[in-house]
Structure 1
Amino acid sequence: MKRNIKWSLMAASVMFLASCKNFLNEESITKLGEDKVYSDIGLVETSLKGIYANWKNVRTDEQGLIMMMGTDETQQGAFQMKSDAIKGGLDRYDANLNSTVNHIANQWNIRWPLVNESAKIIRGLESGNPAAGTKEGGLYGEACFVRGFVDLQLAMYWGEIPIRDMKRETELGFRRQPLKDVWAFIIDDLTKAATFCPKTNQPGRATSGAGWAMLGKAYMSAPESTGLRDFAKAQECFEKMMADYSLVPYKDLWDFNKPNTAEAILEFQFSPVYPNNNKIQFQIGSRAVQSYFGDGCYYSGYDKLVPTQYAYETVANGGIWEDGDLRKEESIRYDFTYYGETPTLDRISWEDLGPNHDELKPHVKKYEDFRVDKHHEMRISNMWNSGKNIPVLRLADIKLCYAECLNEAGKTNDAILVVNEVRKRAWGGTLPDDKSWKAMSKEEFRTKIMDERMRELFAEDWRRIDLIRTGKFIELVKARNKWAKESGKIQPFNTIFPIPDTELKLNGDIGPEDQNPGYN
């Protein structure tokens, strides 16, 4: 508990010390001079722990949902769309989605301190020529992993980004760099992470397995225009780490009594005790349930993020779910009956949403935490304190990525065998013959694997990246996201976000002329 508080306060200090003038140039995590901080292995360890604590903010509270809005998998609830037109732009893709949206600026701003502090650690440790297998080498690999992981997200969401290489700071400044250079930098970081990170580590910290997994994802995700997309290299990366992990029963992944399973490659560590709670349920639960049963019901909330119809319906009704798939009930809540009583919409009828009422339609279930229910022995009685671990990387994700690589190599039959391993788990260990994937074309596999990734990884924050890297973002969001479909405004340029207006004003190396096309 004391350690959790310590590192949470450390995380807060990172954000506090970040310059309001330029988030790319915030102060160090301590007030000591950088030469002292990054030459002292103990202080480097302290700095890195602060980075990890701060990194969890990306998946905490409403901040953890923003990048899941506006996809074909999840969208904002109807009342949220009606009451907040600005944030509604994240699903409607209308004129409200512009450079002044605070929600986008926040996503940009919470990531750059992580990149910047990691860059300082990397520079400091490089001066001592760290070796793999040493304490210094392990810390170096972890810092490379964080910078590489976060840069990958930034590049997927915003395109060209600054490169924070302290050795070349005079040369690079804080300018956006060409995509080829950005992705080469990401690949280099993740190569070092795979090489230098320890084989095993404390829960919540990077390992060489995590490094190989993300390096494989980087090779799959690099834009084709960079010439760096390479499914063969991605396949090799995955083959170096998959044997170190194993699939577990799907329900175990969401059991708060079983954190960091044999399938987990990296999980953000949370608990239902402040300040280490993640507050996710406070955002994704049902408002109808909250109005009926109060905060003490563990699946109460405010409908900030709900499944699209495609993500919660059966195949027969135009959705993804097949009969017998155990992932369906683990991922999505369909029944809101609470201790024998079923809530109604009566107490929120004032919302006047008409046919758009979705407070008792299916909701995200994966992050529900019964420990905060008023009937649990902990007596926390407030879904605001939800605190289950949140998966970042796990084996099933990597197996499905690996299958994509095999398919791209023309080994579709081998790819099918890998997918069926994941599907076998989804049917409790025995995959019915009619649910087993059979021979298909490479193109058919490409289509079907996207549905399989949604079934397996629903609401785990990979969908936007999956849609972008496969070139399916506009097509599938337009067809399946209720609000984007109704608006009809989504355009190809919406595949990436606008550079925040605050960055354009505060960063002397990025001006209005550098804005992503289509935005003002």
Structure 2
Amino acid sequence: MKRTIKWALIAGLIMVVSSCKKFLDEQSITKLDENKVYADLDLVETSLKGIYANWKAVRTDEQGTIMMMGTDEIQQGAYQMKSDAQKGGLDRYDANLNSTLTYNANQWNIRWPLVNEAAKIIRGLGKDSLTAGTKEASLYGEACFVRGFVDFELAMYWGEIPIRDLDREAELGDRRQPLNDVWKFILDDLTKAATYCPTTNDPGRATLGAAWAMLGKAYMAAPVSTGLRDFTKASQCFEKMMSNYSLVPYKDLWDYSKANSAEAILEFQFGPVSPNNNKIQFQIGSRAVQSFFGDGCYYSGYDKIVPTVHAYETVANGGVWEDGDLRKDESIRYDFTYYGVTPTLQNLTWEDLGNDYDELMPHIKKYEDFRTDSHSDEKINNMWNSGKNIPILRLGDIKLCYAECLNEIGKTPDAVNVVNEVRTRAWGGVLPEDKKWKTMSQDAFRTNIMEERIRELFAEDWRRIDLIRTGKFVELVKARNKWTKQSGTIQDYNTIFPIPDTEMKLNSDIGPEDQNPGYN
């Protein structure tokens, strides 16, 4: 606990919400001359641990749910949509989704300190030649991984972004750079990470496996317009790391006593005690359950996000779930009975939601943490303290990515075999004949793999990126997200977010004329 508090305090020193330009101007968290900082690898380690501690904030509490909203697998709860019209814009894609939306700005702002501190380490350690396997090279590789990963997200969500190469600051300034340059930079960072990251590392920190996995994802996701999308290179990246991991029973992925399993490539490390709790249950649990049983029921909460009908229904009813798929009940809660008592909506009638009540409709289950329940021996008694690890990269995801690459390079039969490996795990180790994927066309595979990724990766924060990189964002969100469909206002430009108004006011190199098309 003392170590957790120590790193949390260190991390807090670098998290000041402002423009990316201000982040660049801030001194390193050590408050020392940079030449001295990067000559002392213990100080570099301290800085890097602070970065990791802050990186977890991207997946903590409400911040960890924003990018899941507004997709075809997850939408906001009905009461949240009624009570917060501005945040509702993230699902309705109406006029509330604009440059002044605080929720959008927070997602932008929370990532830039990570990029900037990583950039300082990269500049500090990259001045001399590096030898793979040394501590200096490993720290450099980890910093490249963090900057590459976070830039990957920034570019996927906002398009053109500033490039934080401090050796080229005079040349680049703080301007948004062309997508081609941005994605070359991301690929270069992740290539360096795949060269210098350590083979093994402390839980929650980058390894060679994580670097190869993200480099593969970057080659898959680079916009076609850049000429950098390369499924062959992506498949080769995945081939370099997959054999070092193995699939585990799906239920074990969500068992807090089995964290960092043989399948885990990178997990954010949490626990059920503040300040290291992730607070996710507060966002995903049921308000009807909370009103009946209080905070001591481990699956109570406030319906901030819930599954779309498509993501919780069976294939027979127009959804994704097939009979016998064990992932269904591990991912989604359908039954809210608690120690023999079934809650009702009677305590929530004041909401006056008409036909939109969803507090007892299916909810996200993956992150429920029984340690917080009043019946647990932990005596925590508050679901707010949920603290399961959160998977960032794992083998099930990478196998499906690999299969997608094989299909794109004309090896669809091989791709089908890889998907069946994942599906075999989903049926407990024996895949029924009628559930095996058979020979199909390349285009049919593209459709089917997107459904399979919902089954395997529901609520793991990859869906928005999957929809964007495959060009299916508007089509599938409009068809499956209740609030988007009702609003009818989503447009192609909503595929990416607006540049925050605060950034344009604080960064002299980004003005209204640099805004993403369609936004004001």
Work out whether the TM-score is over 0.5.
Answer: yes
Q: Distance in 1 between matches of 2:246 and 2:491?
A: 41
Pairs within 5 Å for 1:311-460: 311-460=311-460
Alignment deviations for residues 66-85 of structure 1 (CA, whole Å, 9 cap, x no partner) = 00000001000000000000
Q: Distance in 1 between matches of 2:448 and 2:378?
A: 43
Alignment deviations for residues 240-289 of structure 1 (CA, whole Å, 9 cap, x no partner) = 00000000000000000000000000000000011100000011100000
| 2:252 is equivalent to residue 252 of structure 1 | yes
Q: Distance in 1 between matches of 2:53 and 2:413?
A: 42
Query: CA 1:105/1:26 → structure 2, altered by over 3 Å: closer, same or farther?
Result: farther
Which TM-score applies when normalising by structure 1? 0.99
Alignment deviations for residues 305-331 of structure 1 (CA, whole Å, 9 cap, x no partner) = 100000000000000000000000000
Q: Which residue of 2 aligns with 1:266?
A: 266
> Alignment identity in percent?
79
Q: Secondary structure at the match of 1:241?
A: helix
* One-letter amino acid of the structure 1 residue matched with residue 263 of structure 2: E
Q: Distance in 1 between matches of 2:172 and 2:511?
A: 15
Q: Distance in 1 between matches of 2:208 and 2:109?
A: 28
Q: Secondary structure at the match of 1:198?
A: coil
Q: Which residue of 1 aligns with 2:40?
A: 40
Consecutive unaligned residues in structure 2, runs of 5 or more: none
Matched-pair contact (CA < 8 Å) for 2:424–2:431: yes
Query: CA 1:202/1:20 → structure 2, altered by over 3 Å: closer, same or farther?
Result: closer
Q: Secondary structure at the match of 1:485?
A: helix
Which TM-score applies when normalising by structure 2? 0.99
Pairs within 5 Å for 1:280-295: 280-295=280-295
Q: CA deviation at 1:34?
A: 2.0
Q: CA deviation at 1:179?
A: 0.2
* One-letter amino acid of the structure 1 residue matched with residue 220 of structure 2: M
Q: Which residue of 1 aligns with 2:171?
A: 171
Query: CA 1:18/1:518 → structure 2, altered by over 3 Å: closer, same or farther?
Result: closer
Q: Distance in 2 between matches of 1:59 and 1:9?
A: 18
Matched-pair contact (CA < 8 Å) for 2:220–2:231: yes
Q: Which residue of 2 aligns with 1:89?
A: 89
Q: CA deviation at 1:38?
A: 2.1
Q: Secondary structure at the match of 1:15?
A: coil
More displaced stretch, 20-29 vs 505-514: 20-29
Q: CA deviation at 1:18?
A: 6.7
* One-letter amino acid of the structure 2 residue matched with residue 300 of structure 1: S
Pairs within 5 Å for 1:200-219: 200-219=200-219
Q: Distance in 1 between matches of 2:354 and 2:48?
A: 50
Consecutive unaligned residues in structure 1, runs of 5 or more: none
Structure 1 runs (4+) deviating above 6 angstroms are 17-21
Count of aligned positions: 520
Q: Which residue of 1 aligns with 2:498?
A: 498
Alignment deviations for residues 328-354 of structure 1 (CA, whole Å, 9 cap, x no partner) = 000000000000000000001100001
Matched-pair contact (CA < 8 Å) for 2:20–2:109: no
Q: Distance in 1 between matches of 2:131 and 2:18?
A: 31
* One-letter amino acid of the structure 1 residue matched with residue 99 of structure 2: S
Q: Secondary structure at the match of 1:8?
A: helix
Q: Secondary structure at the match of 1:392?
A: strand
Matched-pair contact (CA < 8 Å) for 1:19–1:27: no
Q: Distance in 2 between matches of 1:458 and 1:182?
A: 29
Matched-pair contact (CA < 8 Å) for 2:16–2:113: no
Alignment deviations for residues 183-242 of structure 1 (CA, whole Å, 9 cap, x no partner) = 000000000001100000000000000000000000000000000000000000000000
Q: Which residue of 2 aligns with 1:71?
A: 71
Q: CA deviation at 1:22?
A: 2.8
Q: Distance in 2 between matches of 1:325 and 1:80?
A: 31
Q: Which residue of 2 aligns with 1:515?
A: 515
Matched-pair contact (CA < 8 Å) for 1:119–1:165: yes
Q: CA deviation at 1:24?
A: 4.6
Q: CA deviation at 1:23?
A: 3.9
* Cα-Cα RMSD: 1.0
Q: Which residue of 2 aligns with 1:275?
A: 275
Pairs within 5 Å for 1:117-132: 117-132=117-132
Q: Distance in 2 between matches of 1:275 and 1:3?
A: 11
Q: Distance in 1 between matches of 2:145 and 2:94?
A: 35
* One-letter amino acid of the structure 2 residue matched with residue 15 of structure 1: M
